[in-house]
Chains A and B, each alone.
Chain A
């Protein structure tokens, strides 16, 4: 997917001015946190499970090379094939080649953020293969040629009216004057359309919520059942997963599953939790004849051992996004790439690997809510700070900000000079203050006064008044 992270500020401004988007975001940002809190409250062991989940992921990252080898061995043992892809284009050509080898015309896809990351749909289309997204949200945004705005509810930015408009425009074989005025009707129409695709597709392409080293299984979690249909009906199943997704054994998978849905949607467990192991067995009535796993690195191995190592614990539940007060106002598209919200602001700069995403780690108040709801306890605010450290060290901060910051620190390190300058400054501001004590506009503080009034100082500084009081002998 093309990155638009460099245009963060303009994109955010656009989102803030979009009344329709603000309406759906309001609904979203009040709903999900309540559901998660209820699910957590219903399970006394939830906090212990979060610790256990964190420890499993940390252990895997510390031993990732061995876990990948064990997983690979098991996949091959159970009749599957493993492909390794260094970057996005490598993965695209591996998948394209498999499609070509079976002369595939249609690929059904179950939602995969890695797929978005490497823009597999564009690649397949260019190579004459029709990729069909089957998660309802992904299907809608594919019709609209839009990127997802959330990793678990990709079409959360849209109203039902917008969906209806899209269906009317794209489902041209249906009567143009049909009624499409509620989500049920819209869902039924999509269900009918996608059913044809499920039954006729040549290849099913899925992501993986986990790769189980013990069994060589991949875990697929959905509420719609679209993953099971996408990968169970076609002749070939291709799994596209990033390398950090391994877990040791089935017990560990279940510990992670216990925190995954609760953190994501507030469900105790998603409706369909499937472990897929290898291709169709000899006497099976259904299932794919070929089972391929494409393991993608795409920058992750260089995050290992860096200050962003812990980010790879992420299980892509979206909880940090659901609880982020910045996301709640600007939505997912403003972030400009696949991964929005706090996890995206840590991950995107690492995966994109250039300065284009420099705004993202700064566009956070470091309020810390994300860390309190992360099922694997990733210290997200600390990681955002680490990006800021890197940017500062690499001299990538805008010059005015850097100068302002350094001037403040220079002063603050010289208490006498600081005192002098501050007394003069507050004295001046107090003299200039309007009668109501509030500045509406200060030329050197536009960042503040463009949106807020600035209360004028109450008078002399505390330290000056304290000195007077002390000299007066009162204390």
Chain B
């Protein structure tokens, strides 16, 4: 499955949330990766990366799922994920799960090195920049915690969005502050979680932007769900949908734009 450096073989790991709730993000990722010149595969047996189990203290299940992902995604030049959180799980945490098992540790490190978050992969590996994509308006970007602090994803999505016609980015004061999603946290502690989301949303509304973008569907669903409950008009999209020019005629995660 090895390809020339210009046409690397890439396995797309869509993530559970994209698979189940917003396949459009997956197709946006497909378009972007193909445009960037990748030879794309989508391993059919992919499920969950194990992060919920890992963060809940269930190391056994987390390890079993990590092993499954390592098997599923062996042999590709790269594994690309439209989520900083799932990518960080593989890059940062899989090797910790196998720290006492040298053979598996080696395999997990190998996978970690081949695994990329989507915007980082497009910019830093493929030197890709979107062509002829337009999205008129102003957007503010939410830096998801795992991507930002575990993978240093900050400029990559902004640089890519810089090539989108008509789109201006307005920075929010709390762009780097957690939205309160936190995986199971948001259902275990809904009061605290939604108060955290409200603090973020107040700050986002303050920017005057008409759109909220981010790279992690979990955070976006949390913010969008809360915005929708509050009756906020801001449109919410995953960054891949905007970069792939796939917002037209699609209902945003929340916001007043009607689907056709």
Contact = CB atoms under 8 A, between A and B. Distances in A.
Interface of A: 9, 12-13, 16, 30, 325-326, 328-330, 362-369, 371-372, 385, 387-393, 397, 401, 405-406, 408-409, 411-413, 415-416, 418, 422, 425-426, 437-438, 440, 445, 447-448, 450-463, 465-467, 475
B19 A365 contact: no
A367 B57 contact: no
A451 B193 contact: yes
Contact of B189 (A363, A392, A411): A363
A422 B46 contact: no
Interface stretch (B59-67, B115-123, B125-133, B157-165): B59-67
Contacts of B194: 451-452
Given A365-B145, A451-B190, A458-B22, A409 B61 contact: yes
Interface in B1-31: 14, 18-24, 26-27, 30
Contacts of B177: 325, 369
A409 B187 contact: no
Contact of B53 (A363, A405, A452): A405
Interface centre among A412, A465, A475 (most CB of B within 10 A): A412
Interface string B223-242: 01110110000000000000
Given A405-B56, A415-B46, A475 B65 contact: no
A330 B192 contact: yes
B226 A451 contact: yes
B52 A461 contact: no
Given A329-B199, A369-B178, A437 B259 contact: yes
Contacts of B197: 451-452
B156 interface: no
B190 A409 contact: no
Nearest to A426: B20
Nearest to B59: A389
Contacts of B146: 368
Nearest to A440: B229
Contacts of B64: 409, 413
Interface of B: 14, 18-24, 26-27, 30, 34, 40, 42, 44-48, 50, 52-59, 61, 64-65, 68, 145-146, 149-150, 173, 176-178, 180-197, 199, 221-222, 224-226, 228-229, 251, 253-254, 259
A460 B23 contact: yes
B178 A463 contact: no
A363 B183 CA distance: 11
B186 A448 contact: yes
B55 A461 contact: no
B190 A365 contact: no
B226 A369 contact: no
5 contacts: A12-B192, A325-B177, A365-B145, A385-B54, A454-B221
A452 B226 contact: yes
Contacts of A329: 192, 195-196, 199
B254 A438 contact: yes
A392 B58 contact: yes
Contact of B14 (A385, A393, A463): A463
Nearest to A404: B184
Given A392-B56, A447-B187, A452-B194, A465 B224 contact: no
Given A397-B57, A438-B254, A459 B187 contact: no
Contact of B190 (A387, A401, A448, A461): A448
Nearest to A422: B20
A448 B225 contact: yes
Ranked 10 nearest A-B pairs via Cβ: A365-B182, A447-B187, A452-B225, A392-B57, A388-B57, A462-B23, A367-B178, A409-B61, A451-B194, A462-B26
B257 to A, nearest CB: 11
A387 B56 CA distance: 9
B26 A451 contact: no
A462 B43 CA distance: 12
Given A368-B145, A409-B53, A451-B193, A415 B186 contact: no
Contacts of B58: 392, 405-406, 409
A405 B187 CA distance: 13
A366 B182 contact: yes
**Max chain A C-beta neighbours (<10 A), residue from B14, B21, B224:** B21
Contacts of B192: 12, 16, 326, 329-330, 363
Contact of B42 (A365, A412, A463): A463
B226 A408 contact: no
Given A413-B64, A448-B187, A466 B26 contact: yes
B145 to A, nearest CB: 4
Contacts of A408: 48, 52-53
Contact of B180 (A365, A390, A392, A448): A365
